[in-house]
Amino acid sequence: MFGHGDTQIGTLKLRGVGETLQPHRSVLFRRMSFLLNTVDLNPPGIPPSGILIVRSMPDPLPGKVNPRGRALRLETAWENAARRALKEKYHAASRPEYGRFPPHADAVFFEDESQLLAVLLLDIVNGDAPNRWWWKIILEKSGYTSNLVKHLCEKIAVLPAVLSHLTAWGAAARVISKLSENDSLTVTAALAREFQMETAAAPLLHPGKAAGTGKRDEKNEKGDRPLIEKNGKRGQATNRGYEKDAKGGRPHPEHPGYPGPPPAPWSRWLPLNRFPAHLALPQTALVGLGLSLFYAPAKVRTPAFAREFHQWWDFHVQQEEKQTPTADGGKLGVGIHDGAPSPGDDEKMARNSTLGADGAGSAIPLPIPTAPEQRGRELAPPVPTRERDMGPKEIEKIGRRIRFDVDPAKPRTTGLPGPDRAKPPATATPSTPREIKKTVLYFPEEGVDTRLAGVFYLVNLMEYLDLPACFEEQCQLESRVGAWGTLELLARALLDNRYPEIESDPLWEALAHLDNREKGTLPGGDFYYTGDYTLPGIWREKLQITRNKAAVRHPFNLSGLNPYLEKWVSFVLPYIRDYLRRLVKPPEGEETDIIEILLFGNARLYVTAAHVDIVMGLGDISLPVRLAGLDRDPGWKPRFARVFLFHFN
């Protein structure tokens, strides 16, 4: 719809054109269009990824524009006046509250394209889109369509952010329920391709096959269901209830000893009162996978998440097969409520998702504030209503029959014990599922100032070295630390505790917010690995490694960091530092540390549900970093579920 930094004028009106110039109207409009293209109308202070739509704006400096003249550009005074007028429009513009704008708003503002798409989908479902003047302006060229699948698939990269907005507004069920089951599968397939999670979404993309085997899940000769696949092995269910068999497998959900429905893999990030209700199975899977990608993108591509999702999907597919058709064509039985939400559900979801019993904000980090006066504030969270606090009857009253916890006293863990992760010692951090942080941080719309803009240059380095995925098979670095955690670890390791003044920099709080961590906590709290590390194969070629640096390993110590993670940082740090010293060379005659050249730089940081924008001045451009190619726009990165853009103004 819009490119970054683009300015579009829907309708241009020229007044004072006399009768003698009427035959030349087309020439005057082309001339005026040429003059307007010579000026920059983007007002200062507006977030780079924001979208401001103004209904009308009069000439800010009448008499200064002469389309009949021979000037090659408009006067600077007129340009500055136009930018001031647009800045006033920006400050007065309406922001979406629960996905809605006042119908007669003079200007509207979206924080990025994900919020724009979320509001558009909600207006289409409510039937309000054709009557909103801002949609007529935006969709005039591309053509308006009410096809939800088309809108979702065209912007599939921001779908997790779109679902986070809709869930925060309590409108996800209303929108997603309008998709048919086939449409839901189509969108899920596009999402799986975009985020490289075909393994997790395999049951939806290839129905009728057991998870990861390519074989149908048929009964054996004894009439027993085979076990859910684990570690690539399959076995037969035993008669010992829910205990593991000799091969370490788990009984099939239909086995008599199975204690209940397997929990949804996203339940550790989304409490029951925040998940949309009354959705069909493919719709529920689409929302669950999308929200998991928003809150924990690294977890979704792991084998552990895929196994949990396959178990959850297989169980509910079998439950739907056992449902009895009713006279009105519906189905009666155990499973997920099918069809559209009942009246008032969205309003109840909105209240539950934004206000707790004490009137404070929810414990879930919403992508944006729900009201303009809440932007940029940190709200005190209430104790959310969780399923572990409810009894079975209370759970039934909520309207969903998917249970999120089999045994609240024994939380499910992600990952499987490997040869070097059998049992962590008593001093290790327990490997418990990471839940949504308890402090809500609304990232301010106006951004924050940081002195460490160069930390985001490391995103390009991580992409080059395939971090953290290249260590996933060896020590589960991607699933337990994630891309955001790895980025912070690399930055802190390169700074090496030599600059105590930057400990209070807002960048660290922003990284914790993006990684879904408590403010002031370090990444990798549940990381555990005691084996010896080996270099990934691609590193020797890309880093031009000619010798093993284990003998010159640089010990890294950071107060509060998981000691097992310190060992990994100490292993990779010499290789990365040596490569950066060869890549980023200071100007001749200067002895400046390359770490200072690379990581230090003044910038304003903007964070939205789909974007990370770093705005720097032209004077902050580093020539060594530019020659090394580290300040190019990273763009869309599925591992981070964000778009990274550098702006030099």
Q: Is residue 607's pLDDT more than 60? A: yes
3-state SS class at 510: helix
| CB-CB contact of 597 with 629 (8 Å) | no
Confidence class for position 340, pLDDT limits 50, 70, 90: very low
Average pLDDT over residues 302-313: 92
pLDDT of residue 17: 63
pLDDT in tens, 322-335: 775 555 455 433 33
* Bigger pLDDT: 320 vs 348: 320
Average of per-residue pLDDT across 46-53: 95
Query: Over the chain, what is the mean pLDDT?
Result: 76
Residue 57 CB burial class (10 angstroms; 0-12, 13-18, ≥19): middle
- Give the model confidence (pLDDT) of 436-488 as tens digits: 333 334 689 999 999 999 999 999 999 999 999 999 999 999 999 999 999 99
pLDDT at 2 (0 to 100): 55
Query: Does the bond joining 62 to the residue before it have cis omega, within 30 degrees of 0?
Result: no
Cα-based distances in Å from 509 to 141, 366, 490 = 41, 16, 16
CA angle 72, 77, 79 (to 5 degrees): 65
**Confidence grade of residue 554 (pLDDT, cut at 50, 70, 90):** low
The per-residue pLDDT for 22 is 61
Confidence of residue 20 (pLDDT cuts 50, 70, 90): low
Confidence (pLDDT) at 142 = 67
- Class of residue 109 by CB neighbours under 10 A (exposed 0-12, middle 13-18, buried 19+): buried
Q: How remote is the C-alpha of 649 from its chain's centroid?
A: 27
Q: Which residues contact 85 (CB under 8 A, 6 or more apart)?
A: 57, 60
Spatial contact of 456 and 642, defined as CB atoms under 8 Å apart? no
Which range among 175-184, 246-255, 268-277, 392-401 has the greatest average pLDDT?
A: 175-184
Span 236-241, average pLDDT = 35
Residue 264 one-letter amino acid: A
- According to DSSP, the β-strands at 611-616 and 603-607 are antiparallel
Q: Is the CB of residue 582 less than 8 Å from the CB of residue 630? A: no
Q: Among 289, 287, 220, 643, which Cα is nearest to 456's?
A: 643
Contacts of residue 469, defined as CB under 8 A and 6 or more positions apart, other chains included, come to 478, 639
| Matching residue, tokens 């241009």 | 12
Question: pLDDT tens for residues 142-186?
Answer: 677 889 999 999 999 999 999 999 999 999 999 999 999 999 999
pLDDT interval class at 358 (50, 70, 90): very low
User: Integer distance in angstroms from the first to the last C-alpha of the chain?
Assistant: 24
168 closest CA partner among 268, 295, 255, 1: 295
Determine the average pLDDT of the residues in 561-586: 92
Q: Which two tokens stand for residue 548?
A: 């093993």
Share of the chain above pLDDT 70, in %: 68
CA distance 345 to 340: 10
Helix (H, G, I), strand (E, B) or coil at 97: strand
